[in-house]
Amino acid sequence: MAEKFARPVNIEKMRREILSMDISRLAVFSDVMNRYVLLRAKGDARTWLRVYAVTFIITRGGKVTPTELAKILLRSKNSVSQLINGLEKNGLVRRYHAKKDRRTVYVEVTSDGLSFLKARLKVVKSLEEEIRSCLDDGELRIIVDLTRKLRLRLLEKLTGLKS
């Protein structure tokens, strides 16, 4: 039996409203880029979560706490613990306790982790080349600047971490 709505749904009106929202275009662009990377890499989302995790650790100086990683990946501490277990099992990271406070645990990228990331960044480079092929330098600079600004602002809002 079909569910009845209290008011008729106007699909065309909703479509126009969504299309008028510039942010929806940005979300579609982001989704297309993510799908491009997944298809070109012939990997799965878990592989790319590992790439993001290793990339983040490197951008933070090569070591982070699991809590920092959970915040930036927008994942629960339990989920990140499982991710770290997998990364550690594959030799991509190692965990160790801080010397001054043994309660503090750090996750550090290994040389195998760097090799893993380097291999996957080839796919990201190919995406970059595709984008460069259809934009001039000025357009590319605008996109890079705006996406960086949005990323930093949204991550700061969501995680409380300053970049």
d(CA 101, CA 20): 53
Query: Rounded to the nearest 10 degrees, what angle do helices 66-73 and 137-159 cross at?
Result: 120
Give the pLDDT of residue 132: 81
The distance in angstroms from the start CA to the end CA of the chain is 52
Q: Which run of H or of E encompasses 106?
A: strand 105-109
Q: Is residue 6 part of a domain?
A: no
Q: Looking at the predicted structure, is the pLDDT value of residue 5 above 50?
A: no
How much is the average pLDDT of 5-33? 63
Q: Is residue 2 part of a domain?
A: no
Q: Is residue 74 part of a domain?
A: yes
Range of the domain at 69: 45-159
Structural domains of the chain, count? 1
How much is the average pLDDT of 62-77? 89
Q: What CATH code is carried by the domain that includes residue 80?
A: 1.10.10.10
The reported pTM is 0.65
Name the least confident of 73-77, 88-92, 119-123. 119-123
Cβ contacts of 62 within 8 Å, gap of 6 or more: 108, 109
